[in-house]
Amino acid sequence: MSEVEEDPAQLLAVLATRKADWAATPLEDKYQAALEIRSRVLEAASRWSRVAAHTRGCSKEAVAAQELPLMLVPLANYLDNLLVSLAALKACAPLPSPPAAAAPGGDGLVVKAHPWGTVQTWFSLLGWSTSTEVTLASASQGAQLRAASPAVAVVRSVGYAPVESLAAALHLAFVSGAVVGLVLPAWQAPLQLVMEYIMDPLARGAFFATLLAADDAEATALTSSPAIDRLHLVGFTPDDFGALAEAAGGADALPPLVSGEVHGPAPWIVAPGPWTQAQLAHHSQVLAEAAAYAGGASPYAARLVLLPTAWEQADAFVDLVRGELAGYKLPAAVDPGVAQRHADFRRHYPDAFVSGAGPRNDLIPGVGPCPPWVVNVLEAYPDDPASEPAFQTDPRGPVLTIVKIATDAGSEEELLISFLDRAVRAVNEDVQGSFGMTLVAHGATQKRYAAQLDAALAAVRYGVVVVNANLGLGLWSAQTHWGVHGGAAEVAPGRTLRLGSTQNSLLYDEGVKGVVRFPFETYLHILPPEYRSITMRASRQLAVGIVDGMRGFLRGLKDKSWAPPVTVGEGSGGVVA
């Protein structure tokens, strides 16, 4: 590749010359490109996982193995379901339409997107009896793809979200019909090479390019270039958007269409129930993992937990969560701004529990060691949540706040109803953001009080709601709504951020929210060997089995593509990929 071709601004200019050609590309050709990308996702999964772990400062094979299913399953599932939709469109056949019913109150529809989908059969066999419901404003499908006009879209993320960024790029290319530039920070250069391999069916036609920005100033210049028709933001909060707009010279300097995610502290609601000690331990691990992945740098990490004061197991659960996080070895930091955000947060909560610190990450300029864990417990709900940092900021670091909510005394049912009412009002009205949240409820509670829990799930105004699992696992479904509640949110005065959900492989036009349910106990853990060790081969075999069924699982027994490590590129620090 020549020096001109490697210059991100020049690459962006080349993309602009190709947008009309991509918009006019026949559906059959796009279908074949998506099919090849799907194959490349499976081929590159092991390499991706090793590079991703390395960029986070860890070269252990067991840690890399944990990354593999987190990349392979959501991307392959999304492409599988997208291919079904594209096949229907190119055959002039109706799009797949799972069963649907009127939403509570009669406003819109609720689609039973899973287990209608193929992946669910395998989740059930593995003990993960998941289901997905998507709430829609209308039943129309495919208008976004059919009406696609020539456009240049640029994807930019904050925090650690490479899989989500690539998923967004796929959706913008195949559904929105745009040529796509994916902005990456310089420290993700080794991962850039794997992304280019996966996306080569588009890149070789100059319909996709990775844009490696040397610093924030160059990234801002790329995202405010006049060549761009659409900017898609991954992991952004309103504060992040404000900082981006200011750096660009004002919100009007950004492209006319801005889409993406509006994040906040990603709250968890923990419902009371008859938990055993083993179940308390299990979910303390699940919560710790949700907070700790990538050192808390993921925009999908848990930051805020709400539980009832009157729940007799509340204190035991809090103690277990503290113990889990205290025993977890933090990875290297990946975000240059984490130290300052972490220090600002700690100043507001000087009495919070603090434990450990992570190693230095020499791959990323300006990043020191990962700050220590801060576990902040508020024994009473704040009087002014609008000024409470734990409710209004996302430090994108090793920070977790647990808030106890007072409830009306009474029976088990009265406690649950009172708590759910107050917790739902809290996350809807007092917590910044409307992207995603988690509700944890015991299996017996779900059976006995199904109507009350369903009412609570219907009432929350978040785009992605995951039951009994990490918010990031909501991406696995590939047929859910993956965006802000209602598909739009105001991020600045007079500036609305919109999103045609990037996991919307069924091509619904007006998604409101998705609810992805996992069983109360799945024992699916995502952290490195401090919790659950797994080999690269076993990880790949499991992930391929999920997305390709029994044939894929058996093929994985003979597959050796996971094995031979190679060094990726000059200046990668000897990254094994």
> pLDDT tens-digit profile of 396-429?
888 999 999 998 777 889 999 999 999 999 999 9
Alpha-carbon distance 42 to 77, whole Å?
11
- Residue pair 19/178 in contact (Cβ under 8 Å)? The answer is yes
Q: Is the pLDDT of residue 4 over 90?
A: no
**What contacts 247, CB < 8 A, 6 or more positions away?**
216, 217, 220
Q: Is the pLDDT of residue 558 over 70?
A: no
User: Of 82, 78, 76, which Cα lies nearest the Cα of 27?
Assistant: 82
Residue 447 pLDDT: 94
Higher pLDDT, 205 or 72: 205
User: pLDDT tens for residues 506-523?
Assistant: 787 777 888 988 888 865
Rg (CA), the chain: 22
SS3 345: helix
φ and ψ at residue 472, rounded to 5 degrees: -60, -30
Average pLDDT over residues 190-198: 91
**Which token pair is 222?**
């790329």
- Which residues belong to CATH 3.40.309.10 in the chain? 267-462
- Residue pair 209/172 in contact (Cβ under 8 Å)? The answer is no
Residue 505 pLDDT: 77
Residue 519 pLDDT: 87
**What contacts 374, CB < 8 A, 6 or more positions away?**
342, 345, 346, 349, 352, 353, 354, 398, 399, 400
Residue 508 DSSP symbol = B
Binning pLDDT at 50, 70 and 90, where does residue 451 land?
very high
Higher pLDDT, 437 or 138: 437
SS3 514: strand
CATH annotation of 3-98+146-260+533-558: 3.40.605.10
Alpha-carbon distance 161 to 165, whole Å?
6
Q: Which CATH architecture has domain 267-462?
A: 3-Layer(aba) Sandwich (3.40)
Alpha-carbon distance 150 to 177, whole Å?
7
The average confidence (pLDDT) of the chain is: 81
DSSP characters over 64-113:
HHHHHHHHHHHHHHHHHHHHHHHHHHHTTPPPP---EEEPGGGSSEEEEE
- Which residues belong to CATH 3.40.605.10 in the chain? 3-98+146-260+533-558
**Which token pair is 223?**
């995202």
Residue 206 pLDDT: 95
Q: State the alpha helices, DSSP H only, in 199-237.
A: 200-203, 216-223
At 473, the amino acid letter reads L
Strand arrangement of the beta sheet that strand 304-308 belongs to: 100-102, 109-114, 131-136, 511-517, 464-467, 436-440, 267-270, 304-308, 399-405, 373-378, 353-355
Alpha-carbon distance 269 to 573, whole Å?
42
Alpha-carbon distance 259 to 489, whole Å?
10
CB atoms within 10 A of CB 25: 16
What is the pTM assigned to this prediction?
Answer: 0.86
User: pLDDT tens for residues 225-276?
Assistant: 999 998 888 878 777 888 888 888 887 888 878 877 777 788 999 999 999 9
Alpha-carbon distance 302 to 394, whole Å?
10
Residue 264 pLDDT: 79
User: pLDDT tens for residues 6-19?
Assistant: 789 999 999 999 99
User: pLDDT tens for residues 281-340?
Assistant: 989 988 988 887 767 777 788 899 999 999 999 999 999 999 888 877 777 777 777 888
